[in-house]
Amino acid sequence: MLDFMTDVEDYRQLKRLRDRLHEDLARWSEISGGRLLTMMAPNPMHGYTAKRIVRQLDAQLPPGLEAFENTDTEEEALGKLRMPDVFVVPSESMLQTDAIDPHEVSLVVEVVSRSNPDNDYIEKSIDYPAMGIPHYLIVDPRNGTCLHQFEIGTENGRPAYLGRIPYKYGDTIPVGDLQIDTTGLPLYDDGRQ
């Protein structure tokens, strides 16, 4: 992890550094809080969970909206570049730039990894409302729970999700006009990430 002050030029330097990294390392790197964060690539169960959610969303989304996986969403003015496990965005947004404008994202879903759950529960719960993403769903295969966060307001002088509803695997989670059925989502095995 590299620490830098967060301003636009520092962010751009971090992004250039990220872009020069080996492709596999850059693919799993994010920028937040003036830091370049590298993560382990998701394991198969993590990817399987994300894919099941994408399939559910694609079946419900109106024409012009689609669910995608693992693509950069960037808010340069805030110095943030995140790569959500799943997100919903207008189809044409995927064709316009290297990173998605977070103001076009209507939903982000993160599948929690065993190695760094605080990234999803704490850091991204700070970053996503600051980036203007209206719905954030955390899916946790460690214990079969989910947390839907929504309604951006202000807490302690910064953007925050004011609405938070917990769920458990087996529940169907309403997110706006969408429904995400968590029945059958897998739990992590004891020896896996």
- Give how many domains the chain has, as a whole number: 1
98 falls within a domain: yes
Residue 190 has pLDDT above 60, yes or no: no
pTM of the shown model: 0.81
- CATH code, 149: 3.90.1570.10
3 falls within a domain: no
48 falls within a domain: yes
* Residue 154, domain extent: 43-181
109 falls within a domain: yes
186 falls within a domain: no
Q: What is the pLDDT of residues 114-161, one digit of tens each?
A: 888 999 999 999 999 999 999 999 999 999 999 999 999 999 999 999
95 falls within a domain: yes
Q: What is the pLDDT of residues 22-70, one digit of tens each?
A: 565 545 666 666 766 666 656 678 889 999 999 999 999 999 999 998 8
CA distance 155 to 124: 15
pLDDT attached to residue 85: 92
Q: Judge contact between 52 and 75, C-beta under 8 A.
A: no
pLDDT band at 95 (very low <50, low <70, confident <90, very high): confident
pLDDT attached to residue 31: 63
pLDDT band at 5 (very low <50, low <70, confident <90, very high): very low
147 falls within a domain: yes
30 falls within a domain: no
